[in-house]
Structure 1
Amino acid sequence: MIHSSILKKQKRIIVILLVLIALTITLSLGMGYSSVSYDRILPTMLGDETFKEEFVLFSIRLPRIVVTLLAGMALAMSGAILQGLTKNDLADPGIIGINSGAGVGVALFFLFFPIGAGSFTYLLPVAAFIGALLTAILIYIFSFRKGSGLQPVRLILVGIGFSMAFSGAMVVIISSTDRQKVDFIAGWLAGEIWGTDWPFIWAILPWLAVFIPCTLFKANRLNLLSLSDPVAIGVGLSIEKERLFLLLAAVALAASAVSVTGAIAFIGLMAPHLAKALIGPRNQLFLPITLLVGGWLLLFADTIGRNLLEPEGISAGIVSSLIGAPYFAYLLFRK
């Protein structure tokens, strides 16, 4: 049973994060190569707008903001699941190679399966999921040792190896294609938010709508899985079944996110740690906060990145790496 004071603290943190997200969204709506006056944002939302204001806000800024927010939430939840399953604070879908596996799936689909634009948008997360799932299976196999189970440190090392190998594979894949497609894959590797239209929101939203509630529902089981296997089995938990489903959820969330945002790393590493620092390690408490922290982090990184060097800006993946890489090194040396 969770004490009422802790629940009140959780609610306060959630309200603060929602306010922070709202402020960042407002800041992001007004900033950019085609700026919109902040005193015109609300009237434009209410229908009193010029063509330029309507186009900039509803066709450019808002879909990008929503995609970025949803992707950050998905990456954060994926990282929290992986850290719980592996009992390793360094686990992150970008660091251990799942994002790179999704990228290979995206690259192969993009280059060798030409289909209509409408179908492409909705099939892209599926291609990313297949690539990420195969990668996760391989990482799990190479990190597992009979008698001792999953080796957390080995998982990180194997994952980094797969990430580097798949990044090299993508370079080989695109080496013989035309310039336009090379530019797309290069942007994806840099973590450039490219799925910035409303159809991409509808493409990834079902994945989040299924797997995020399921993960929140299984929060207590994730608590048990973070304990030793004999304890989890002793309370009647089917550990392999639960691990398989949660791993599937982590892969699906990461794949759906990176299919529209590119290779974003470290969001899934930082968000769970920050949430635990705010409310504690119990999954029922920190998972909802992790969602909001992850969404805000990626939204903040994208807002800063696209306004640093106009008109192209810097990709959100690079900005998040500049923030997350030192934090990863700190965790690595601390442990």
Structure 2
Amino acid sequence: MIQTALLKKQRIFFYSLLGLILATITISLGTGYSSLSYDRLFAAFAGQGTFKEEFVLYSIRLPRILITLLAGMALALAGAILQSITRNDLADPGIIGINSGAGVAIAVFFLYVPVDAGSFVYVLPAVAFAGAMVTALLIYAFSYNKRTGLQPVRLVLIGIGFSMALSGIMIVLISSAEREKVDFIANWLAGNIWGTDWPFILAILPWLLVLIPFTLYKANRLNMLNLSEPVAVGLGVSIERERLVLLMTAVALAAAAVSVTGGIAFIGLMAPHIAKSLVGPRHQMFLPLAILIGGWLLLIADTFGRNLLEPSGIPAGIMAALIGAPYFIFLLLKK
């Protein structure tokens, strides 16, 4: 039974985070290389703006903001799932190599598979999922021991090794590619939000509409998997089956996100920890907050990044790493 006071606390944080997201969206809409004054911004929303104002708002700013927000939410939820099923607070799709697996699959697909431009957007998340899933299963297999089960520290170390190896493969692919294709892969590696058109939102949104409710439904199972294996088995949990299903869910969320945003790490690491510090470790309580925090963190990173150096800006992945790397070191020392 969840205490009423804790539920009230969660609601306060939930609505506060929604307010922060709306405030950040408003700031992000009005700032950038082609800035819009806020009185003209609201006029453009009402359909009374000039062609340029409505073009900047609806064709450039708004789709980028929505993509960033959705991707941040997906990465945060993926990180929360991975931390729970591995019982490792340092697990994150970017750190343990899942994003790199998705990246290699995207690079191979982009370089060597001819595909119609119209369907490219919608095929990309599935390609990223396939690459990320193969990587995740290999990491899981190398980290698992028949006698001791899944070893959390071993998983992080093997994941980092896979991430470095896959980065090397990506460099080999880049060295043999054409210039314009190299630019795309380099932007992906830096975590530059590149999927900034409405079709990309339609490509990623179905994944989130299915997987977020499914994960929230599985919150109690995640609570049990966070316990020691003998206790979880005693409670009637089929550990390996639940881990595999939830691993696939985390991989699908991460792959959908990075297929349109590039290789972004640390969002999935930070958001669950911040949420747990607010309302505790119970998944029913912290998962909704982690989702909002992840979206807000990536939105902040992208908003600051594209306004620091105009016109090209700093990729959101680099901005997230500048914040997340010290946090990762702090957690590593603390644990």
TM range (shorter): over 0.9
Aligned to 1:24: 24
Structure 1 residue 234: Cα displacement:
1.4
Structure 1 residue 48: Cα displacement:
1.0
1:68 has 2:65 as partner: no
Aligned to 2:263: 263
Aligned to 2:239: 239
1:158 has 2:132 as partner: no
Aligned to 2:188: 188
Q: State the Cα deviation string for residues 127-174 of structure 1 (Å, max 9, x = none).
A: 000000000010001111111011100000000000011011011012
> Aligned partners of 1:316, 1:214: CA distance in 2, in Å?
28
SS in 2 for 1:211: helix
> Aligned partners of 2:272, 2:40: CA distance in 1, in Å?
36
Structure 1 residue 40: Cα displacement:
1.4
> Aligned partners of 1:40, 1:113: CA distance in 2, in Å?
44
Aligned to 1:311: 311
Q: Percent identity?
A: 70
Q: State the Cα deviation string for residues 36-73 of structure 1 (Å, max 9, x = none).
A: 11111122111111001100000000000000000000
Q: State the Cα deviation string for residues 17-38 of structure 1 (Å, max 9, x = none).
A: 0000000000000000001111
**Any gaps of 5 or more consecutive residues in structure 1?**
none
Tell me the amino acid that sits aligned with residue 223 of structure 1. Answer: N
Aligned to 2:249: 249
Q: State the Cα deviation string for residues 108-138 of structure 1 (Å, max 9, x = none).
A: 1111112111110000000000000000010
> Aligned partners of 2:251, 2:23: CA distance in 1, in Å?
31
Tell me the amino acid that sits aligned with residue 197 of structure 2. Answer: D
Spell out the pairing of 1:95-114 with structure 2 (5 A cutoff).
95-114=95-114
Tell me the amino acid that sits aligned with residue 135 of structure 2. Answer: T
Aligned to 2:174: 174
Q: State the Cα deviation string for residues 303-322 of structure 1 (Å, max 9, x = none).
A: 00000000000000000000
Tell me the amino acid that sits aligned with residue 39 of structure 2. Answer: D
SS in 2 for 1:227: coil
Cα RMSD, aligned residues only: 0.6
**Any gaps of 5 or more consecutive residues in structure 2?**
none
Aligned to 2:89: 89
> Aligned partners of 2:249, 2:175: CA distance in 1, in Å?
33
Tell me the amino acid that sits aligned with residue 93 of structure 1. Answer: P
If the length of structure 1 is used for normalisation, what is the TM-score? 0.99
> Aligned partners of 1:114, 1:61: CA distance in 2, in Å?
30
Structure 1 residue 236: Cα displacement:
1.5
> Aligned partners of 2:161, 2:230: CA distance in 1, in Å?
31
Aligned to 1:45: 45
> Aligned partners of 1:310, 1:201: CA distance in 2, in Å?
25
Aligned to 1:142: 142
Tell me the amino acid that sits aligned with residue 40 of structure 1. Answer: R
Structure 1 residue 218: Cα displacement:
0.4
- The ranges of structure 1 where at least 4 consecutive aligned residues each deviate by more than 2 angstroms after the TM superposition are none
SS in 2 for 1:89: coil
Structure 1 residue 229: Cα displacement:
1.5
Structure 1 residue 106: Cα displacement:
0.6
> Aligned partners of 1:144, 1:233: CA distance in 2, in Å?
17
> Aligned partners of 2:96, 2:240: CA distance in 1, in Å?
21
Aligned to 2:78: 78
Q: State the Cα deviation string for residues 205-260 of structure 1 (Å, max 9, x = none).
A: 11111111100000011000001112111121111111111000000000000000
